[in-house]
């Protein structure tokens, strides 16, 4: 089954350059469990701690990132997919607002 939904659960807020931020995402409905990946625009986030917790047909993922000025005005994207099914990708995104101290 394809994922039925994906949602970034963390409330969007303004971030400060250099201060750790965490975001949580949930995907429901996929069997087998959805694979969740994170992006800033089209760039995959692969240099951050990312862990998944699986419950039934719901997948959770938490990503930690340290904002840099270049992230300002870009989208943080949580992408969910069933890797066994073509065209099963769903995504949710938020617009990042980054401030310098």
Distance between CA atoms of residues 67 and 21, nearest Å: 7
Q: What CATH topology corresponds to 5-99?
A: Immunoglobulin-like (2.60.40)
Q: Provide Rg for the chain, Cα atoms.
A: 14
**What residue segments make up the domains of the chain, in order of their start?**
5-99
Who contacts 96 (Cβ-Cβ below 8 Å, separation ≥6)?
A: 15, 40, 67, 71, 72, 73, 74, 75, 76
Q: Tell me the per-residue pLDDT of 11-57, one tens digit each, with 9 for 90 and over.
A: 988 999 999 999 999 999 888 888 899 999 999 987 655 556 666 78
> Does the global pTM surpass 0.95?
no
How crowded is the C-beta side of 20, counted as CA atoms within 13 Å? 6
* Whole-Å CA distances, 93 to 56, 84, 85: 24, 23, 22
């Amino acid at each position: 089954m394809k994922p039925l939904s994906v949602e970034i659960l963390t409330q969007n807020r303004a971030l400060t350059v250099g201060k750790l931020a965490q975001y949580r995402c949930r995907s429901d409905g996929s069997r087998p469990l959805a694979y969740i990946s994170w992006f800033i625009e089209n760039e995959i986030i692969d240099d951050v701690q990312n862990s998944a917790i699986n419950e039934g047909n719901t997948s959770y993922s938490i990503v930690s990132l340290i904002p840099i000025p270049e992230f300002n005005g870009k989208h943080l994207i949580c992408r969910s997919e069933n890797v066994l099914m073509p065209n099963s990708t769903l995504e949710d995104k938020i617009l990042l607002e980054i401030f310098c101290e």
